[in-house]
Structure 1
């Protein structure tokens, strides 16, 4: 049986050399608080490209200053950010990786000075700031910010855009009835709670023709919250809008106890993939090549997203290849030590 982890994957005209994706992970390293790419980012991302990761998705990147998780987040709210990202994309592509960026707004989980925004004026917990309930103008401006950020992603040369709709940030807050208590057309029914994401997707697609991913939190881990069944419906709607892949994570819209174990979220990817009949990515405590291969061979996901394991081992593709008894090409400069 052919090893699937190292087979190419083509999505909307973009071919990844393997099924290994570096999941977006915040580095909190834009120390001037201006959202610009720093040397850390250049070293961090380029090293995973040298390590032969197929697709590298840059961390949650704020579409507005108010949408940052922290003052140290990367941003793409200004044309001045494009040059740094263009350089970063070039460094990754030089080593054969495809490149993505996750466009994000933190919503009520922003830890910033000044006013923060959310669908409803509900704090995440008793230690965090109470956000302002977004007005219709706020919503319109935020949708426009996602669109302008996507335009900048095009100029920077990214191959993939991922919209961050997970982990309790703004889009996730609109989707979940636990955080969205609005009484207007953006709250109440599933269709209404989906409306903000629908508008963001539509706006992004007016300027972006490449592969479009959406990261979701497929389980709220609360009896009154969302489950993977709800996300089958949301994913079907996203598919109708032209989203190409659902990146399936879970949790973090409210404080909740989550029982974690190796591959604990893979079943959610499998549920959405089969229920919505669309491509998915699996993420969450995936650490070995054998584990990743099982996910792909059993059609539980189309791509495997790795996070902490790629922090521990920038050359994880080589580690996985050796485990699966596959030879993969490495950098020419490393030939004498790669095999």
Structure 2
């Protein structure tokens, strides 16, 4: 199904695969420059929730240091910290990270220093979980659903009083509250800059608050934040403007989107193209292309590289840099995505959880010269060899 989708979208883009391949000729381990930030290669670790803040105070822990610095030492060009909430009630789960206060910012410092000290770039994803907040973390002994108040949960909010599956019914946000959330994104971005993150990503995918506002199946408002696509993307554009406004000029800003929610009459790839074009005009440098998570119970044809057709299509319809993510696990698979112009960087997620040194092994398998592989100096004795 994904292969057919890619063929159809290539036709709509007006470019043949040969033309697209001719646009780019580069390797997975060639450097990448985004705005003023140079990354040593095009292998990124995407944001992945760890649900590991046992104290439930939003502060990163020694686990997070180990998690992120290990992957940075493993050769990733960019490491993106997981969904980091801009308000306490914007956490996906009680065990999520946050940047809504200075104590959290200060707790990040040694991790930021540790990642950057390896030569990797370090970004952070800012998020508000909306109607999917206050959720049980996976593998915590509970099924999916909303954490009740007597177990540390809280009331949830959204664009409209429309629940996600069997989760709690959200309260519809007032306009003043929406403006307040924009301010919270701005304040979290200030902290991200102060602590030394080198990129900020805004999470507008997977059915969290910003993507809830985008999607017509979830957003049933009749005011300036609902109805037309222009109105539904209003909150995202306001957040982008607020965040961009407190970032250094040479610091890249990216946005993660769900290219489609895989549901009839819901958010689709053309909506994503139109939104990406608007984001480019508001100072966004790259679109992180994912899909799904907005509507409960839909069927998604998961297979290796199943979201790559979306990244390719959005890239060639908008001219914006994009990343591809989703069951990209093999070095040659990742290399082809880059060489064929289907993305500007690839994100290695669950495979990186299994192997923190995936980039080093991949570079060896792809024939990258040993002195060009980003080994840490003390590890040179252990380089991969034929």
Q: Place the TM-score, normalised by the shorter chain, in its bin.
A: over 0.9
Structure-1 residue corresponding to 2:177:
138
How many residue pairs align between the two structures? 338
Distance in 1 (alpha carbons) for counterparts of 2:61 and 2:220:
39
Matched, 1:17 2:62: no
Provide TM-score, normalisation by structure 1. 0.98
Structure-2 residue corresponding to 1:280:
322
Per-residue Cα deviation, 1:138-180 (whole angstroms, up to 9, x for no partner): 1011000000000000111000000000000000000000110
Distance in 1 (alpha carbons) for counterparts of 2:187 and 2:49:
21
Q: Evaluate the alpha carbon distance shift between residue 305 and residue 329 of structure 1 in structure 2; reply closer, same or farther with a 3 A threshold.
A: closer
Q: In the alignment, is the contact (CA less than 8 A) between 1:273 and 1:301 conserved in 2?
A: yes
Name which of 294, 298, 305 aligns with 1:263. 305
Name which of 189, 192, 196 aligns with 1:153. 192
Structure-1 residue corresponding to 2:124:
101
Distance in 1 (alpha carbons) for counterparts of 2:170 and 2:91:
14
Structure-2 residue corresponding to 1:118:
158
Structure 1 vs Structure 2 CA RMSD:
1.1
Flag structure 2 segments of 5+ consecutive residues without an equivalent: 1-23, 135-146, 148-152
Give 1:325 shift. 1.4
The alignment partner of 1:6 has SS state of coil
* Higher alpha-carbon Rg: 2
Distance in 2 (alpha carbons) for counterparts of 1:252 and 1:93:
31
Distance in 1 (alpha carbons) for counterparts of 2:219 and 2:74:
41
Q: In the alignment, is the contact (CA less than 8 A) between 2:26 and 2:338 conserved in 1?
A: no
Q: In the alignment, is the contact (CA less than 8 A) between 2:307 and 2:325 conserved in 1?
A: yes
Structure-1 residue corresponding to 2:6:
none
Per-residue Cα deviation, 1:213-258 (whole angstroms, up to 9, x for no partner): 0000001111111111111100000001110000000001011110
Matched, 1:176 2:215: yes
Q: Evaluate the alpha carbon distance shift between residue 2 and residue 218 of structure 1 in structure 2; reply closer, same or farther with a 3 A threshold.
A: closer
Name which of 65, 71, 75 aligns with 2:98. 75
The alignment partner of 1:60 has SS state of strand
Flag structure 1 segments of 5+ consecutive residues without an equivalent: none
Structure-2 residue corresponding to 1:7:
30
Q: In the alignment, is the contact (CA less than 8 A) between 1:86 and 1:155 conserved in 2?
A: no
